[in-house]
Amino acid sequence: MPNGYCKLHFTSEPTHIRNMVGTLMDFVDGLSPETQARNDLKLIFSELMYNAVVHGNKGDPTKYVEVLINITDSRIAVTIEDEGVGYDYQNAIKYALSENALLDEGGRGIVIVQALTDKLSFNETGNIIRFEKRFK
Give per-residue pLDDT as tens, 71-130.
988 899 999 999 999 887 777 777 777 777 666 766 678 888 999 999 999 999 999 999
Position 1 scores a pLDDT of 47
Give per-residue pLDDT as tens, 42-56.
999 999 999 999 999
The arithmetic mean of pLDDT across residues 21-31, rounded, is 86
C-alpha 13/C-alpha 82 separation (Å) is: 12
Position 19 scores a pLDDT of 95
Whole-structure pTM value: 0.90
- Does the pLDDT of residue 35 top 50, yes or no? yes
Q: How confident is the model at residue 36 (pLDDT cuts 50, 70, 90)?
A: confident
The secondary structure element, H or E, covering residue 18 is: helix 17-30
